[in-house]
Every structure is written in structure tokens, then in C-alpha cells.
Amino acid sequence: MRVKKLLHTRMRVSDMDQTIAFYKDILGLEVLERKTSPRGSHLAFLKVPNSEELIELCSFPPSGPVKVQEDLVHLAFEVDNLDDTIRALEAKGIKITDGPTRSSSGSRFIFIDAPDGYEIELIERPPGTALV
């Protein structure tokens, strides 16, 4: 058995509207669909520019607020220009929690926090660089 491709990653969130606003307004993701699952979970599927994989947000209020462990998981997104990204984030009142840092490959990156404490890594890669 071998999988064909990654379709989506699910993240549980406390406040669906707040989280959708963050991903739409701060990162520019597109909401493709919102629905309620047969089990009663509120779901939203987000499209990332230039990617086939989706992010699935899941809210199930009866289970209480989400508590994300530090350094457990993060999403990484590529940006064209890290300095421009930092200025845009600061203009929107988004705090940079780590960085900017330069990797051995020459990539530069920062971290910010999404609602519920999920870390978001924003990476500027030099042309021709495959990984951070």
C-alpha cells in the first residue's frame, strides 16, 4: 500500500470565525467550504495559494477550548519577501514571536502565532532552494 498524495491537514480550533479571519485577513488564504459534519463538528476548508493541499479547521464547542502544546506542530508558508511580510504583519498588529533567523541554506524565516497558539512559520527562500 502506498498513499497517492496529501489532501488536507486538520487542526482543531476554539473559535472558528476568529481563526478563519486570521487565515484570510493575515495570510490571504481562501475559504472553499464551511459545513457541519455528521458528528456535529463545524468544519472549514482553506486553500493555500499555489498548493493543492487544504487546511481543514474543525471546531467542536462541547469539547471545550483547544490547548496547543508548545512546539508540537506548526504550519510553514513561503513568502516572496520577508522584510515586506514583517512590515505588513506589524501594520496589522501581529507580533513576531521568533526571528528573523537565517538558515544554513540562506533561507530567512520568522514565527507568528495563530489563534489557539498554533505557530506559523513564514519563510523567504533563495531562488533554487528546495528546503529551509
**Burial category of 100 from C-beta neighbours within 10 Å (exposed 0-12, middle 13-18, buried 19 and up):** middle
Peptide bond into 100 cis (omega under 30): yes
Number of residues that make up the chain = 132
Which is the catalytic residue, given 30, 33, 52, 121?
A: 121
Residue 121 a catalytic site member: yes
Asked whether the beta carbons of 115 and 109 are under 8 A apart, the reply is no
Residues known to be catalytic: 121
